[in-house]
Amino acid sequence: MLLVTGATGRVGGALITAMPGVALRAAARDTRATEGPVEWIKFDFAEPATYGPALLGVSAVFLIRPPQMADAKAFVPFLDALRKRNIRRVVLLSVKGADTNPVLPHHGLEKLVQTADFDWTILRPSDFMQNLETVHRADIREHGEIAVPAGDGKSAFIDVDDIGVVAARVIQEDGHAGKGYILTGPDSLSFDTVAEILSNELGRQITYRRPNVVRFIWEQHRKGVAVPMALVMTALYTVQRFGGAAEKTEELEVLLGRRATRLTEYVRRQKHIWQRIEGRK
């Protein structure tokens, strides 16, 4: 039995899709709108009373940090619960650069997992292509722009569906314990190029606007993004701006056993996401 935390999120959902027929327990804070062939269970890292039912019969955990939990110490009770139940296999979804950058909230969680108590594997993906349909969807669809403080920096954008396939593989196969994988897409692209790809596929002009850091945080606040989350976003875009996200590795394609998805393919597949709402200019 595999427990998938963050199961209603992008990567959790991609992992579940990539593991048909496998005994899964999908954990979420709100399971009222969930459905499908897997077992759903109410779970909250902040509520230890939910640990027991979620961990019953579990032999492995796919661990995802919820966006609102920036302090790694908040995960200590859950990791202690794994130890008490002798659940050793943990696959952690982190982010590229978290192993060396203590500013990123994933850094502390990596350190907590990397102990002799766990047969851990850490996945460190680059920026998600799917951020274009979540974080940037409204700006692209309604305003024809992407507005981030990334300068001319490049990122090796990765398709979340590819991450799901890799996560399923490292959980089920032997030989991945004690390893961290840097997962990137096949192309290192600036947001100018991203905007050009969107323009070509959507058939209308999408531009890349470059707000400074202060204006970006202010704009995110106006959109209802919590300040801690806006600061994390700013840190990630700053990494890209100064070249820290441009690195490409072959680890994703080796684990996939095929070529990784390119951004053009992803945009073509999902282009309906950014279609303008009827009646709006």
pLDDT band at 36 (very low <50, low <70, confident <90, very high): low
User: What CATH code is carried by the domain that includes residue 263?
Assistant: 3.90.25.10
> Is 266 part of a structural domain of the chain?
yes
pLDDT in tens, 234-261: 988 988 999 988 999 999 999 999 999 9
Beta bridge partners of residue 26, listed in sequence order: 4, 40
Residues 23 and 104 reside in one and the same domain: yes
Asked whether residue 212 falls in the same domain as residue 87, the answer is: no
Strand partners, 60: 2, 89
pLDDT at 244: 85
On whether both 278 and 266 belong to a single domain, the answer is yes
Q: How high is the pLDDT of residue 279?
A: 46
Do 25 and 110 lie in a common domain? yes
Joined together, the tokens standing for residue 127 give 């920026």
What average pLDDT score do residues 122-146 get? 95
29 shares a domain with 50: yes
Whether residue 252 is contained in a domain is answered as no
Same domain, 117 and 144: no
Whole-number pLDDT of residue 219 = 93
**Other C-beta atoms lying within 10 Å of the C-beta of residue 200:** 13
For the cut 80, the answer to whether the pLDDT of residue 278 exceeds it is: no
On whether both 106 and 49 belong to a single domain, the answer is: yes
- Residue 125 is encoded by which pair of tokens? 């993906």
Q: Residue 28 above 70 pLDDT? A: yes
Backbone φ, ψ for residue 199 (5° rounding): -60, -45
In a shared domain, residues 42 and 88: yes
What is the total count of domains within the chain? 2
DSSP characters over 103-131: TSTHHHHHHHHSSTT-EEEEEEE--BGGG
Average pLDDT of 122-149? 95
Q: Are 116 and 79 in contact (CB under 8 A)?
A: no
166 is a domain residue: no
Q: What is the pLDDT of residues 156-188, one digit of tens each?
A: 999 999 999 999 999 999 999 999 999 999 999
* pLDDT recorded at residue 37: 74
pLDDT band at 281 (very low <50, low <70, confident <90, very high): very low
pTM of the model: 0.91
With contact defined as beta carbons under 8 Å apart, do 198 and 206 qualify? yes
Check whether residue 141 and residue 264 sit in a common domain: yes
Q: What is the pLDDT of residues 78-125, one digit of tens each?
A: 999 999 999 999 999 999 988 988 878 899 999 999 998 999 999 999
The residue out of 101, 125, 149 marking a domain boundary is 125
Q: Assign 190 to helix, strand or coil.
A: strand
Say yes or no: 108 and 210 in one domain: no
Q: Whole domain around residue 215: which residue ranges?
A: 127-158+185-246+258-281
Predicted confidence (pLDDT) per residue in 209-230, tens digit: 999 999 999 999 998 988 888 8
For 50-80, the pLDDT digits (tens) are 999 999 999 999 999 998 888 999 999 999 9
